[in-house]
Structures are given as C-alpha cells and as structure tokens.
C-alpha cells in the first residue's frame, strides 16, 4: 500500500500535538502524526476523534518529514534533532503550536499578553488571568500551562494570556503582543541547549514580538534594548513598580502592603508587581487589580502553604525544578522569623549548583535526596543525605519546632523518582497530612 504524502506533520503527540491536529483538521488539512514514544499520551484520543489521521509511533519518519511543507513540532522535541534538522535543511517550514496560534489570532480583534521566564511564569499567568476575569474582561489563559494555545481560540476572547516556554519561543516568530515580560532568567534546560547563551536567546525572542516590555529591574538579562516602550518592576530598588518598607509602590505612591497578600516571599511580591504592570497595559485599574491579587492564594506546588500544624508551616514548592527557583524561594523567605528546613534533590539536569551554597546559609538544615543528592551535600555542612522524601520529611518533622518552616523546594527535576513535579508535590502533601494526623 502506497504511503500517503502529507503536506503537514505533527511531530510529538500529547496535549499539544492533539490540539494541533484538531486545529488543522478544522481547516480541512489532514496531517500525519509521529512520536518517538511507542505509546504516546493522546494516542487513544487521536484514534477516537480523528480515525483518518495516520499515527507513527516509535520513530520519526525522516524521509517523509523532509517531503512535507510544514512540520509542527511539539515543545518537548528539540528542533536540533536529526529528523527535524534534515527536514529544515530541505526547506520544510518548522513551526510550533504558538506560531499557528499567532497567525490565527491576527484575524481577531483580541490582545495577547506573553509571559516567560525561568521561574514564576505560571503564577503570573494564572494570577493575571484572575485579575482580568474579575475586571470583566473575557480572558483566555493557557499555552505552556493548562490549555494548549490553539484550544483557546474563541471569537469572544478579548485578551489571551499565554505562558510561553523557551522551547515554544524557538519556533515562534509572528506573535503581536500588547505587552510581554521575561520575569527572570536563571540557568535551566542545559540538557537541551548547547549553552546558557542559547537558552537566554530563546527567551529574548519574545521581545521581538511585542509592543510593550515589562522587565525585571533586578535582572538586566530581562531588559529591552530601548527600541520600544518599557516598564520595569523591582523588589530591590525604585522603579515603575517596586517594594519599599513593606509597601507596593507605583509612581512613587504606596498602593498597598505586602502583608495584605496571601502570597508569601519576595519572589511572589515581584510576581504581583509584574501582574499589576501587565494588567494596566490592557486597561485594568490598579485598585481593581490589587483587590484580586490580595485574595489570590497561589498555585499548587509553587510556594504553596499546605498546612500550619503545631505552629510549623509546611510549604510545597515542588515546581522549583531548577536552581534559580529554589534560590528565589529562599531569598524570598530571608525575613522568615523561624528556622527553615529545606528538602531538596532529584535530577539537577547538569546545572551549576554552586548558587545554592550561599542560599543554604540561611537554612537550619538541608535534607537532600534523589539522583544528585550527593552534589547538594558537597555544597554545605548543614546538608544531609537521606534515602527519599519520606525520610526527609521524617527528619524535618523530628527537628522542627513551633514557628519553623519545612519547605520542599528541590532545585532539581523530579523524573528520577516521580512521573512529574506534581506527583512529587502531592507526595509531600500526603506526608504532611500523615505527619499531622
């Protein structure tokens, strides 16, 4: 039987790949789909919803891909991989789902806000979505968090709020954001990029696709080049939006106290300031935005207070899958009055762990587990290796007293021991509940 020559191939299934298939079929295009995994997530759903779509599992059909017009590559697949690179060299257009979204949304009278950064982007994306919705704006929130971008497309949407990863930005050129932010940049994904400069360059592609930049005054890597309008936020110095003596400031005036927020930590105060700036870019008043921000409890697995039992606060920050996230969490808690017991470890993804050494100085004890636990132990005398998360929690619970904080902020990926960071965080929460009856 002769092979079908597909003009479009979706490379990588999962939720993103399925959203691309759905979008293309809606345009009357039947793509081919391939995935290097033998049983990719979404395969059953694809067969049920689109039985006419060919799915190849276990490898990428390089020769067939090179004969296509366009490859839509899922963000989990490196565009430098051999089959993709060969197709690109043959003149095949390489895009991702965000690029298809960007082209589609141009036909709508809707605004787009783009959010990226090594850490905090999910919190900012979800919080901004809450702010816009409470302000009466029809907002669609997704991208790298929650709903894939193509599934968000709606004739009724007024604003799209997109969380964007560096992987997604690699294959995106056509976004036209009303405002965009790079919240911060710290070392991450060096198992995917040749060096840190390449990772930073991928993030900074967003600034070529926006009308206004919201940058972090405290991280020069996030600054624009002066070519377009730029607003800045800071938790260290005066800026357009900044902190001063426990107050959130805008244009030199206090707009509220940080102790009125449910969010904890200076990194979360920075996130709140970024949301205020982004919300104002689409017409939301400071007062309306701040009202919602004050009520926001935070996202699960992101500096989430799970419980306060016998005076001990348990915080789940399992989403801290890189060094920068854990440093930010600990920096944000420098004013915490009690002792901090940190649980960390997992797969460090070849990252430089040395910035943690200074951060560990403000911690009573570090309990390290997982694949790269030994690398963490070498950083500090107050770091002890334990077998697993159960053992870490048992030790922390034994040592902590009323007024102290037990923090899961691993600084590492979870895949050495868990399916994902959510499973790791859920395990922590179960242990908290178990420890407290």
Of the options 3.10.310.50, 3.40.50.720, 3.30.420.80, 3.40.1190.20, the CATH number for the domain spanning 8-95: 3.40.50.720
pLDDT digit string, tens, across residues 93-125: 999 999 999 999 999 999 999 999 988 999 999
283-289 long-range contacts, CB within 8 A, separation 24+: 284/131, 284/132, 284/135, 284/137, 285/135, 286/250, 286/255, 288/131, 288/134, 288/135, 289/131, 289/135
Report the C-alpha gap between 243 and 250 in whole angstroms. Answer: 9
Q: Listing from the earlier edge strand, what are the strands of the sheet with 55-57? A: 55-57, 32-35, 8-11, 70-73, 93-95
Distance between CA atoms of 173 and 205, rounded to whole angstroms?
Answer: 8
Q: Is 226 annotated in some ligand binding site?
A: no
Domain boundaries, the chain: 8-95, 100-295, 304-432
144, 268, 271, 316: the catalytic one is 144
Q: Which residues contact 108 (CB under 8 A, 6 or more apart)?
A: 153, 155, 157
DSSP, res 2: P
Our answer to whether residue 189 is catalytic in this structure is yes
For residue 231, count CB atoms less than 10 angstroms from its CB and return exposed for 0-12, middle for 13-18, buried for 19 or more: buried
Written as one string, the DSSP assignment of 311-372 is: TEEEEE-TT--SHHHHHHHHHHTTT-SS-EEEEEESB-TT---THHHHHHTT-SEEEEESTT
121 labeled binding residue: yes
> CA-CA distance, 308 to 310, in Å (whole number)?
7
Q: Are strands 253-257 and 247-250 parallel, antiparallel or unpaired?
A: antiparallel
- Is 118 assigned a ligand-binding role in the annotation? yes
The answer on whether 354 is annotated among ligand-binding residues is no
Query: Has 144 been annotated as catalytic?
Result: yes
pLDDT beneath 50, residues of the chain: 1, 437
36 is in an annotated binding site: no
Q: What is the pLDDT of residue 425?
A: 98
Active site residue 8: no
Choose the catalytic residue: 189, 203, 319, 427. Answer: 189
Identify the architecture of domain 304-432 in CATH. Alpha-Beta Complex (3.90)
Active-site position among 6, 121, 267, 427 = 121
Between the alpha carbon of residue 107 and those of residues 102, 103, 155, 158, the distances in Å are 10, 8, 10, 13
Q: What pairing do the DSSP bridges indicate for beta strands 229-234 and 241-244?
A: parallel
For 211-222, give the DSSP string: SEEEEETT-GGG
- Which numeric CATH code is attached to 100-295? 3.40.1190.10
pLDDT of residue 437: 44
């Amino acid at each position: 039987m002769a092979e079908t020559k597909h003009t479009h191939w979706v490379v990588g299934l999962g939720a993103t790949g399925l959203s691309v298939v759905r979008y293309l079929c809606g345009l009357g295009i039947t793509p081919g789909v391939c995935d290097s995994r033998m049983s990719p997530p979404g395969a059953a759903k694809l067969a049920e919803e689109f039985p006419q779509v060919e799915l190849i599992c276990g490898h990428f059909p390089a020769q067939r891909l090179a004969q296509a017009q366009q490859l839509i590559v899922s963000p989990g697949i490196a565009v430098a991989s051999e089959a993709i690179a060969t197709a690109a060299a043959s003149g095949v257009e390489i895009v991702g789902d965000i690029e298809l979204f960007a082209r589609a949304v141009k036909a709508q009278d809707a605004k787009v806000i783009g959010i990226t950064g090594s850490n905090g982007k999910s919190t900012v994306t979800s919080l901004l979505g809450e702010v816009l919705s409470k302000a009466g704006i029809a907002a669609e929130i997704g991208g790298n968090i929650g709903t894939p971008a193509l599934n968000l497309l709606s004739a009724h949407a007024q604003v799209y709020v997109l969380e964007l990863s560096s992987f997604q930005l690699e294959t995106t050129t056509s976004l036209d954001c009303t405002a965009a932010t790079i919240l911060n940049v710290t070392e991450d994904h060096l198992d995917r990029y040749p060096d840190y400069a390449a990772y930073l360059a991928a993030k900074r592609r967003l600034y070529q696709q926006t009308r206004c930049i919201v940058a972090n005054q405290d991280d020069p890597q996030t600054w624009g080049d002066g070519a377009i309008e730029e607003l800045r936020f800071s938790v260290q110095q005066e800026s357009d939006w900044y902190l001063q003596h426990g107050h959130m400031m805008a244009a030199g005036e206090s707009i509220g106290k940080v102790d009125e927020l449910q969010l904890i930590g200076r990194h979360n105060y920075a996130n709140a300031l970024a949301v205020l700036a982004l919300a104002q870019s689409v017409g939301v008043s400071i007062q309306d935005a701040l009202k919602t921000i004050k009520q926001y409890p935070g996202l699960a697995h992101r500096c989430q207070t799970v419980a306060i039992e016998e005076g001990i606060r348990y915080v789940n920050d399992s989403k801290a899958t890189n060094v920068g996230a854990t440093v930010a969490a600990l920096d944000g808690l420098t004013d915490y009055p009690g002792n901090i017991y940190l649980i960390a470890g997992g797969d460090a993804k070849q990252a430089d762990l040395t910035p943690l050494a200074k951060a560990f100085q403000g911690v009573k004890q570090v309990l390290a587990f997982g694949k790269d636990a030994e690398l963490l132990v070498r950083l500090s005398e107050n770091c002890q290796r334990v077998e697993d998360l159960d053992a870490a929690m048992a030790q922390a619970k034994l040592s902590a007293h009323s007024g102290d904080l037990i923090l899961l902020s691993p600084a590492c990926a979870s895949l050495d021991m868990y399916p994902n960071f959510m499973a790791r965080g859920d395990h922590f929460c179960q242990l908290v509940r178990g420890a407290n009856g």
